Amino acid sequence: MRPSGRAPDQLRDIRLEPDFSKHAEGSCMARFGDTHVLCTATVEDRVPGWMRGSGRGWITAEYGMLPRSTNTRTDREAAKGRQSGRTQEIQRLIGRSMRAVIDLAQLGEIQVKIDCDVIQADGGTRTAAITGSFVALKRALDRVHKIGLIKAVPLIDQVAAVSCGIHQGRAVLDLDYAEDSTAEADANFVLTGKGGIVEIQGTAEAAPFSDDQFAELMRLARKGIGDLLALQRAALGL
């Protein structure tokens, strides 16, 4: 029995709430059970200096956790004067995931900045951030297309992410903190709507896992991603 009582292939209660922020061009509050991440997308009519004149756009991301998003307070990284390696890794992953499903040439010289702020953490913050960021990105592009800043919405696919792991010898989908902190192995899967793999991060925390176990994790991930893609479409009215 999982700590949450869920079936091995069952996601947490997932809610994707678009237009959560009043000011951002696009936004989404992604709730994966007790993990809550606010994702916003800001559109700027300029690109980084190294891209000027290329005719291509850019998508970048920032990620952070609020001081009391976990059971004990953590100082803001801004107060420390530097970002942790974990933060840098996650925000680069979010940016790569969004760029994987957009035609940057069709976007033109426009930059979209994704901000993911973890309000409450209970495992899977990066997967919630990626899944919610796609909704925020789509809303932002729809808005600037409507006002004529871009000629077309240059998205070529959807993208979502989910965690899977081996907990008490059994492969399970969408780990919460109780499972993630005691799992024998855990992995994060970032997949597109067409089934393409953007990134897989997998680690054995105890004994190495086998090819068969990895195949089962992949099967669970594809099932979970399929459900998340459907929830994205529902949130976007597609």
State the average pLDDT over residues 214-237: 98
Q: Is there a domain that residue 181 lies in?
A: yes
**Average per-residue pLDDT in the chain?**
94
pLDDT at 89: 94
- 2 part of a folded domain: no
Of 128, 112, 108, nearest in space to 120 by CA: 128
Tally of domains within the chain:
1
* CA dist., res. 125 & res. 128, Å (int): 5
Q: Which residue has the higher pLDDT, 137 or 77?
A: 137
Distance CA 14, CA 31 (A): 6
Give the pLDDT confidence score for residue 53 in this predicted structure: 84
Percent of the chain's residues with pLDDT above 90: 84
pLDDT for residue 83:
86
* pLDDT, tens digit, 9 for 90 and up, residues 101-135: 999 999 999 999 999 999 999 999 999 999 999 99
* More confident: 74 or 11: 11
Is position 1 within any domain?
Answer: no
Q: Which pLDDT value is given to residue 82?
A: 81
202 belongs to a structural domain = yes
> 57 near 104, Cβ under 8 Å?
yes
Higher pLDDT, 121 or 79: 121
Quick one: pLDDT at residue 176? 96
Query: Residue 79: pLDDT above 80?
Result: no
Chain center to CA of 42? 16
3 domain residue, yes or no: no
What are the pLDDT digits (tens) for 156-168? Answer: 999 999 999 999 9
pTM of the model: 0.96
Q: Which pLDDT belongs to residue 195?
A: 96
User: What span, in angstroms and rounded, lies between the C-alpha atoms of 182 and 232?
Assistant: 30
CATH of the domain at 114: 3.30.230.70
Average pLDDT on 179-203 reads 96
| Average pLDDT score over residue span 57-61 | 96
Q: Which domain holds residue 63?
A: 14-73+83-236
- Give pLDDT tens digits for 226-235: 999 999 999 9
Determine, yes or no, domain membership for 44.
yes
Asked, for residue 65, whether it belongs to a domain, the answer is: yes
Say if residue 99's pLDDT is above 90: yes
- Does residue 78 lie within any of the structural domains? no
The pLDDT score that the predictor gives to residue 22 is 95
- What average pLDDT does this structure show over 202-207? 90
